[in-house]
Structure 1
Amino acid sequence: MSSAKAPLVLLHGFGGIGAAWEPVLRRLEPDLPLILYDLPGHGRSLDAERVGHAGVMAKAVLGDLDRRGISSFHLCGHSMGGAIASLIALKASGRARSLTLLAPGGFGAEINHAALRRYASAVETDELALALAAMFASGSMPDPAGLDRLAEARRLSGATDRLMEILRSFLVEMDGRIGQGILPLTSFESSGVPTRLLWGREDPILPVAQAKSIWTGAEVTLIDGAGHMLTDEAPDAVASAIAAALLTG
Structure 2
Amino acid sequence: MNETLYVSRTGEGAPPLVLLHGFAGTHRVWDGVRAALGGSPGVLAYDLPGHGGSLGFPEAGRAGPAAKAILADLEDRGIDRFHLAGHSFGGAIAALTAIGEPKRVLSLTLFAPGGFGPEINTPLLWRLAEAGNAADIRDCLTAMSGRRPLVAEGVVREAEAMRTAPGQLAMLRNVCGLIARDGRQGVISHEKLAALTMPVHVVWGALDTVLPARQAHDLPPHFVLHTFPHLGHMLPEEAPQEMAHILARALG
Q: Shorter chain as normaliser: what TM range?
A: over 0.9
Which residue of the partner structure matches residue 31 of structure 2? 22
Quick check: 1:107–1:213 contact (8 Å CA) kept in 2?
A: no
Question: What is the TM-score when the length of structure 1 is the normalising length?
Answer: 0.93
Q: Which whole-Å deviations, capped at 9, do the CAs of 1:16-50 have from their partners, x for residues lacking one?
A: 01001111111102132011111110011111123
**What are the equivalent positions in structure 2 for 1:82-161 lying under 5 Å apart?**
82-138=91-147, 140-161=149-170
Matched residue of 2:107: which SS?
Answer: strand
1:65 lines up with 2:74 in the alignment? yes
1:236 Cα deviation (Å)?
1.9
What is the CA-CA distance between 1:90 and the residue it aligns to?
0.6
Q: Does 1:210 align with 2:219?
A: no
Identity %: 37
1:206, 1:134 → 2: CA distance?
13
Partner of 1:200: 205
1:41-97 CA distances to partner (integer Å, 9 max, x unpaired)? 001111112312211211111111111111000001000000000000111110100
| Structure 1 range deviating more: 134-143 or 35-44 | 134-143
Q: Which residue of 2 aligns with 1:77?
A: 86
**TM-fit CA distance, 1:148:** 0.8
Q: TM-score, normalised by structure 2?
A: 0.92
The alpha carbon displacement at 1:123 in A equals: 1.6
Greater shift, 193-202 or 129-138, is seen at 129-138
**How far is the alpha carbon of 1:107 from its aligned partner?**
0.4
- Residue ranges of structure 1 left out of the alignment (5+ in a row): none
Q: Deviations over 1:131-181 (max 9, x none)?
A: 1111012564221111111111111111111111111112233xxxx2111
Q: What secondary structure is seen at the aligned counterpart in 1 of 2:217? A: helix
Partner of residue 183 from structure 1, selected from 184, 188, 212: 188
Structure 2: gaps (5+ residues): 1-8
Structure 2 distance, partners of 1:188, 1:31, is 28
- For residues 226 and 161 of structure 1, the distance between their equivalents in structure 2, rounded to whole angstroms, comes to 30
Contact preservation (8 Å) 1:111, 1:206 = yes
- Letter matched to residue 216 of structure 2: A
What is the aligned residue count?
243
C-alpha distance in 1 between matches for 2:16 and 2:147: 35
Amino acid in structure 1 at the alignment position of 2:248 = A
Let me know the Cα RMSD of the aligned residues: 1.5
How far apart, CA to CA, are the structure 1 residues paired with 2:58 and 2:228?
Answer: 36
